[in-house]
Amino acid sequence: MNENDRRESGRAKEEALAVAKNCRHYAMCKIDFLGNGVCASGLEKHFASFYPVGRMDLYAALAEGTIPVTETGVEIANSCNLCGRCDYQCYFVNEMRPTRVMRALKDHVGAYVKGGGRVARSKDDAILSQLKNIVGADWASNDPAIRITYHHDLCPHVTFKMPEYVVLPNSREEISAILKLLNKSKIPYCVRGNGASSHGLVFSEGAVLDLNRMKTMDFDEKNWSVTVGPGTAAFDLQREARKRGYRVHTAEPAALVCANIMTSGLLSTFSTAYGISADNYIDAEFVAGDGSLFRLNDIAAPNLFSFRNALSEQEAIAICVSVSMKLHPLTADEEGVLVPCASLDDALDFARECAIRHIGLAIGILGGEFVSTFIAPTRKLAAEAKEVFVTKLGMPYLVLLIGDAYALRSVREMGYPVIDQKLFKTLFQGLPALSSAKWMDLLAELADDEPFSYLRLGRFAELAETAIAPSPALQARDIDPDLRPFFEEVYSRPEMADLVWLNTFRIQSSRYCRENPCVALVCYLPIDKALIGEIQDGLRAVAGKHRLKGEFGFITPIDSGKRCVWEYDFYFDHNDPAAIARVQQATREAGALLDDYCLKSGTIRQVRYVVNQGCCRKENLLYS
Amino acid sequence: MNDERSAIALTGATGFLGSHLMARLLQDGRRVIVLGRSTRDEALAARIARLLRWFGMAMPADRLETVEIDFARDRMGIAEAMYTQLSARTGQVIHCASDTNFSERKRDLVFAANVHSLNGILEFAAHGRAKAFHYISTAYVAGIHHAVCREILPAATAFVNVYEESKARAEAVIASFCERNSIPLKIIRPSIVFGDSQTGRALKFNALYFPIKTMQTIRDIYLNDIRNHGGIKSQKSGIFVDAQGYLHLPLRVYLPRKGSINLIPVDYFVEATLRLIAGDPPGGIFHLTNNSAPTLATLAAYNQEFMKIRAVEILYGRAASAAMRNPVEELFDRFIEPYRPYLSDDRIFDRTHTDRATGNLQPPEFTNGLFKKCMEYAIGVNWGGAIFS
């Protein structure tokens, strides 16, 4: 290797390491959300390490010398066939190209082995042997190449821990047996979901239970219900439900449904119609801390419907091993609209009015940051989209409403100008042409007279379509050239511009941390404009003080408009220790501010205190 | 000119009419005190300097003062000593500042700017015993339902928009104050002002320019569709490029009645205003209007040739139902809605006082050449977007 080659190789390694260390751990590479399949080795081996997300961590650890090259590490590297699927998936979400990391991992391990490096072999200890007896030899490990991928994520509030064991049970009985063993041996444990944790509850120096193998779905259409195993991801469940003509209320697409319910309780824009927490499920089955089994519907079961209203985090008391969820029938006339609002007050008025009148299935007030990030395929376009929507068009907030024909007719009769499905598709597929469109200036001048009045023109969508000439090719214009043909095909699928599908499957909202990860401050509170405005001012001030980007996320009305759920986000650079320190301090101050409002108002509940109480009755949560 | 009371205090100097007045006053060797505001990004003095550069002038530091004011505050926010000193040096006040928004939704803001803020500038004039107060109003204070608009205080109660209403109210407030304080008052009422008749230059591009800008935008949308995207959508609306290279753009513009657009160029406005300010009588109301105003049909003909479009029709009466309108018509209608009453104006503006006081100075006829000159300039500076870039 000459000097140039060495330099080139060094640069490639650096780039690969930078990508690896920017992995958001959002686990979208574990679900087939683009229809091009999922990493084959991940599906076969189930450990996070065999998915791209795990290989990113593994490569970073090997490159930085955190762990040695092990036999399992070699197996993980070799199991990647460089198919490139993860490039499409990760590019869609974060505009990153993990394949170069996969290649770097293979190169690193290959060179090490070829160079005669010693490949470490992890020895089974007594506990691991017993774990293997319970789950089978393939499904428990203490190899550093496995353990490192369960060691950290982007949550800035926890001390990461390297587990001694990672174990993948496949049944409630196995979970029960594992808990009994760990209890007897006084080994701490935790259960992890599919990807990153919001609250840092997935780390243990003892054992991590990964329920990835328990992906069961049993539909009971007579009762409009489905029973799902704890390894079932929201996207997969939603896809199966949709095939049968139903919707399930789920949250983030890669999130495990049971984990969602157990921790913070399910919430989404569909919470307006489908509710939160216990509204979403019929029954659930658990393994208690002592390894015993119980169902919620057992008379003697612990009362998980209750809610402890305290300004403190609660411990988990059991592992959810299955849940039967409600199926909601789809109607053929469901459609989505976006109602632009010049202020948060206007948006709250509209959202509250709709919730009180039970208009719509899903309602979400989205801030400019979310809207632009969700709809734009790249960061650059997201910045341009934000400029267009917030500054040029004066739409700092857009209210998403999904409903049937009756609901949408009501919205129109309420007199609100709307971006309908047709216009949304035009703007969505024409996004790259928007920022340079001169006619936008005219719209701004018109809006001065009456905000968004041009949307009332019967044929505005037709004119916009002519002006923008939207197409999947235009939408994919700024994407890396080698990926562009694939994304042109993806964006040409009808569902990819369908507000109902997009908000049901939520694959675009996975982009919310594309530019930088964030700490989400989420709380339930009344739809009180003054209160929300005051708190938002306070959170903005905290963000400003600590030089963090603070942005309104979303608000969704719940319980007939009596309350709403609100997310406000602090963005930070997770690779900058100083930024992490700032976001930690900012989060503490924001938490104190919210605690203060909780005590003053008596009507605010922070989701961080709901964690591990997600099964509770909504009424206990909101009003007890 | 250099006596202690020679200065002219001018508000609205950063606006279209005010800036032209300021430039001309300075060119004529007058002392000017600009009373204005900074923006978030630019101090008042810098704004004025930038505007003067556009006029090809440097800041004449010995004859131009810029004073930051806030109409909402006592003494317009000017420190007492300075206020007394400024007012003592002010011989005449030209109040040109105005909010020209037509939107009913902005009623409070428009009235705040055009009426409620008057007290500050009027008290300033009274405090220094100004020799004259000149108010730049609008010809449209006459309101609707007046076939002949006299050069007298308005009695109208119905107006086309909140802007007209606020200006009419302001005239009454100012007239009453000046009478009580024995300050000679001239009210100058221009109609619609466009660019310079000699050069076509302008600083603001609303009113006359807005429908043309709208038309250009619509034309470009369809030309782009035809040239770059096969023109299928254009065909659906009957839009195509004909054999002579003209865009066939069917656009029926409905006006309520036959009438004209009363246009005067800004250089006429400036010349006439200065003659009015300088000359006799000491007070009065003056219409700066055009007795030979063009019709929209004439303007449309100019514009069709200028933009190489065809099939624009000016019709009178009620528009066809929305279902019968093509997307272009629907959009154009919406865009010109605030201006529609001014596009077919059948009012006659009496100019008796004006003609006498200005030596019968008349605005030029609005010819095709003048139209072209103004629009070429407007497009050249991207409708104002590129003026200061």
Q: Which of A448, A453, A467 sits opposite B221 (nearest CB)?
A: A467
- B63-104 per-position pLDDT tens digit: 999 999 999 899 999 999 999 999 999 999 999 999 999 988
- B148-205 per-position pLDDT tens digit: 899 999 888 899 999 999 999 999 999 999 999 999 999 999 999 999 999 999 998 9
Name the helix (H) or strand (E) containing A570. Answer: strand A563-571
- A352-400 per-position pLDDT tens digit: 999 999 999 999 999 999 999 999 999 999 999 999 999 989 999 999 9
Q: In whole angstroms, give the CA distance from residue A609 to residue A199.
A: 10
Q: In whole angstroms, give the CA distance from residue B273 to residue B255.
A: 32
Q: Which of A438, A453, A459 sits opposite B330 (nearest CB)?
A: A459
- Predicted local confidence at residue B107, as pLDDT: 95
Structure tokens at A309: 């209203």
**Local confidence band at B248 (pLDDT 50, 70, 90 cut-offs):** very high
Identify the residue with better confidence: B346 or A547: A547
User: B-side interface with A, Cβ within 8 Å?
Assistant: 101-103, 105, 210, 213-214, 217, 220-222, 224-225, 228-229, 233-234, 322-323, 325-328, 330-331, 334-335, 337-338, 383, 385
Look at strands B247-255 and B309-316 and give their pairing. Answer: parallel
Q: In whole angstroms, give the CA distance from residue B215 to residue B311.
A: 12
Q: Which of B224, B331, B337 sits opposite A463 (nearest CB)?
A: B331
Instruction: Report chain B's mean pLDDT, rounded to a whole number.
Output: 93
Q: Best of B229, B237, B331 to disrupt the A interface by mutation (most A CBs within 10 Å)?
A: B331
Q: Which residues of A60-93 are buried (b: 16+ CB within 10 A; e: fewer)?
A: bbbbeeebebbebbbbbbebbeeebbbbbbbbbb
Is the pLDDT score of B38 beyond 50? Answer: yes
- Predicted local confidence at residue A274, as pLDDT: 97
Superfamily of segment(s) B7-190? NAD(P)-binding Rossmann-like Domain (3.40.50.720)
CB-side neighbour CA atoms (13 Å) of A482: 7
Whether the CB-CB separation of A439 and B217 falls below 8 Å is answered with yes
Lowest mean pLDDT segment, chosen from A210-214, A556-560, B342-346:
B342-346
**Local confidence band at A78 (pLDDT 50, 70, 90 cut-offs):** very high
Q: What is the mean pLDDT of residues A436-457?
A: 80
**Local confidence band at A7 (pLDDT 50, 70, 90 cut-offs):** confident
Residues of A in Cβ contact (< 8 Å) with B221:
439, 463, 466-467
Q: How far does the CA of residue B362 sit from the closest CA of chain A (Å)?
A: 33
Q: In whole angstroms, give the CA distance from residue A623 to residue A500.
A: 31
Contact flag A462-B328 (C-beta cutoff 8 Å): no
* Count of other CB atoms within 10 angstroms of residue B360: 9
* Count of other CB atoms within 10 angstroms of residue B321: 7
Residues of B in Cβ contact (< 8 Å) with A458:
322-323, 330
Question: By three-state DSSP, how is residue A324 classified?
Answer: strand
Identify the residue with better confidence: B319 or A621: A621
Residues of A in Cβ contact (< 8 Å) with B334:
446, 453-454, 457
A78 touches chain B (CB under 8 A): no
Angle between helices A577-601 and A529-545 (to 10 degrees): 150
Q: What is the mean pLDDT of residues B319-325?
A: 72
Question: Tokens 């089994």 correspond to what residue?
Answer: A293
A111 touches chain B (CB under 8 A): no
- A282-335 per-position pLDDT tens digit: 999 999 999 999 999 999 999 999 999 988 888 888 999 999 999 999 999 999
Instruction: Report chain A's mean pLDDT, rounded to a whole number.
Output: 94
At residue B12, what are phi and psi to the nearest 5 degrees? 75, 20
Reference B266, options B298, B288, B240; nearest CA is B288
Residues of B in Cβ contact (< 8 Å) with A462:
233, 327
Q: Best of A423, A439, A460, A466 to disrupt the B interface by mutation (most B CBs within 10 Å)?
A: A466
Measuring CA to CA, how many Å separate A170 from each of A44, A131, A142, A518? 14, 12, 18, 33
Residues of B in Cβ contact (< 8 Å) with A473:
none
Q: In whole angstroms, give the CA distance from residue A484 to residue A481.
A: 5
Question: By three-state DSSP, how is residue A120 classified?
Answer: strand
Structure tokens at A291: 């390894």
Residues of A in Cβ contact (< 8 Å) with B212:
none
Is the pLDDT score of B4 beyond 70? Answer: no
- Predicted local confidence at residue A247, as pLDDT: 97
Is the pLDDT score of B2 beyond 50? Answer: no
Instruction: Tell me the domain boundaries of chain B.
Output: 7-190, 209-259+294-344+368-384
- Predicted local confidence at residue A448, as pLDDT: 67
**Local confidence band at A238 (pLDDT 50, 70, 90 cut-offs):** very high
Q: Which of A445, A458, A466 sits opposite B222 (nearest CB)?
A: A466
Cα–Cα–Cα angle for B281, B286, B289, rounded to 5 degrees: 145
Q: Which of A439, A448, A467 sits opposite B103 (nearest CB)?
A: A448
A436 touches chain B (CB under 8 A): no
Lowest mean pLDDT segment, chosen from A451-465, A509-523, A542-556:
A451-465
Cis amide linkage into residue B281, ω under 30° from 0: yes
- Predicted local confidence at residue B1, as pLDDT: 41
